[in-house]
């Protein structure tokens, strides 16, 4: 082969290779197209390897329209779907299915579903219309699982659902009409056990929770009691009769640096399920009072209608001896005074009977309401208390580990009046 034929073949090979590379590049590069597809739909947007890939708009033959992101001909990423029937969805798609956060507005615009989607199905979120708002679990767009329904007429249902009907533990109330029903529901009807000899609200029970209770199923919360309404202190002897949980005391902080890891979630869930809440600080002798006050204030949520801030006083006696009883009492009063100055509300003291008798003897403590721990079947009679913690080993519905049980000294109306007075 002479040199001329060599260079001739070289030029031909180069041209062919260049053409092939150009074709591949043209095929694989992302470019903008306007194209009618085989099914009659029309696409305008980014295109790669003969597929919708990137940001684009797809107009379906039936009148629907999708605007958002595609990956290899499939809706994937953020996008909006305008359905042919007038409904509209905006949110996140994964391989053609609604997945993650999204909002669906039905054609009449009266029903809006806003929540978490999995596999094209709404599993948890909010359903709102002109007359009601439901927040909780879903199945096929109906309440199913835990949820709260609040209607414009003031009626509220908190508890379990099945197929859009109240089913399981729940409470229905209406402050306008002063109605209250609690117990086990079946297909939207309340099952009232025979022999019940108590009215709800005559006794006001609550719980004390922290990270020790781990996961709490707030929609299932219920206290087991006897036919007279007396809640069992430990393992229930019978599960026929139920009392509602009216309030939850929630651990917030301890010492100068510790914040309970479950506090924020417990507060949010207590609020969602309509429980009155209180937040407490566990006093430590290993850090200064100003640091402990700051820890509480910076990490605690308090609003009108809550119990006042609470100081948990149960420092070991040997630690008290290191600073002296009088100095210890001064430190307690420092925390109480500082917190009251900040919130404008007089705090509550939590302690045990023996501890109160030993260390809270100064007259300055007399003005404070007391949350008193005494684990007994009999109410404390010789001691002033507002809340009595009568068990540290309660077994209730909705919480797997044992839990502290508490009783307010009065009925529900008296407790509400007390809380209004604290505002």
pLDDT in tens, 193-225: 999 999 999 999 999 999 999 899 999 999 999
Q: What is the mean predicted confidence (pLDDT) over 124-150?
A: 96
Contact 156, 274 (CB under 8 A): yes
User: pLDDT digits over 43-85, tens only?
Assistant: 999 999 899 999 999 999 999 999 999 999 999 999 999 999 9
The DSSP secondary structure of 74-117, one letter per residue, reads: EEEEEEEEE-TTS-EEEEEEETTEEEEEEEEE-TTSS-EEEEEE
Contact 164, 142 (CB under 8 A): yes
Q: Look at the block and give the residue holding tokens 């409470």.
A: 171
What's the pLDDT at 29? Answer: 78
Task: With cut-offs at 50, 70 and 90, classify the pLDDT of residue 21.
Answer: very low
Q: What is the mean predicted confidence (pLDDT) over 121-135?
A: 96
For the CA atoms of 387, 375, 405, 386, what is the dihedral angle to 10 degrees? 0
**pTM attached to this predicted model:** 0.85
Residues, the chain, total? 423
Average pLDDT of the chain is 92
Residue scoring higher pLDDT (108 or 99): 99
The half-sphere exposure of 114 on its side-chain side, counting CA atoms within 13 A, is 9
Q: Look at the block and give the residue holding tokens 């031909």.
A: 12
């Amino acid at each position: 082969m002479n040199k001329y034929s060599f260079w001739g073949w070289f030029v031909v090979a180069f041209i062919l290779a260049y053409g092939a590379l150009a074709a591949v590049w043209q095929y694989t590069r992302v470019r903008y197209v306007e194209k009618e597809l085989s099914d009659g739909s029309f696409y305008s947007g980014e295109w790669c390897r003969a597929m919708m890939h990137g940001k684009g708009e797809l107009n379906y033959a039936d009148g629907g329209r999708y605007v958002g992101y595609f990956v290899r001909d499939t809706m994937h990423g953020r996008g909006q779907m305008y359905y042919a029937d007038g409904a509209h969805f905006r949110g996140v798609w994964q391989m053609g299915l609604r997945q993650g956060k999204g909002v669906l507005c039905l054609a009449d615009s009266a029903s809006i579903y806003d929540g978490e989607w999995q596999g094209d199905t709404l599993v948890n979120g909010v359903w709102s219309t002109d007359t009601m708002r439901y927040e909780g679990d879903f199945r096929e767009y109906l309440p199913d699982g835990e949820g709260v329904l609040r209607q414009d007429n003031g009626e509220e249902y908190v508890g379990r659902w099945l197929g859009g009907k109240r089913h399981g533990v729940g409470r229905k109330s209406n402050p306008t009409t002063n109605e209250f029903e609690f117990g086990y529901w079946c297909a939207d009807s309340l099952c009232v056990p025979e022999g019940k000899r108590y009215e709800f609200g005559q006794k006001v029970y609550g719980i004390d929770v922290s990270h020790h209770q781990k996961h709490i199923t707030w929609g299932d919360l219920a206290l087991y009691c006897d036919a007279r309404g007396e809640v069992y202190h430990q393992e229930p002897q019978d599960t026929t009769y139920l009392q509602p949980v009216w309030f939850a005391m929630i651990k917030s902080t301890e010492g100068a640096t510790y914040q309970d890891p479950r506090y924020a979630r417990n507060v949010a869930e207590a609020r969602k399920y309509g429980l009155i809440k209180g937040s407490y600080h566990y006093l430590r002798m290993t850090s200064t009072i100003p640091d402990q006050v700051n820890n509480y204030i910076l990490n605690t949520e308090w609003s009108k209608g809550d119990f006042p801030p609470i100081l948990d006083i149960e420092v070991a006696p040997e630690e008290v001896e290191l600073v002296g009883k009088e100095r210890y009492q001064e430190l307690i009063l420092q925390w109480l005074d500082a917190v009251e100055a900040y919130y404008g509300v007089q705090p509550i003291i939590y302690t045990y009977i023996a501890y109160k008798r030993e260390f809270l003897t100064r007259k300055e403590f007399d003005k404070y309401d007391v949350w008193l721990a005494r684990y007994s079947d009999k109410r404390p009679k010789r001691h002033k208390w507002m809340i009595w913690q009568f068990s540290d080993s309660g077994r209730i519905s909705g919480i797997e580990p044992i839990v502290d049980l508490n009783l307010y000294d009065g009925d529900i109306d008296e407790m509400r009046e007390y809380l209004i007075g604290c505002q």
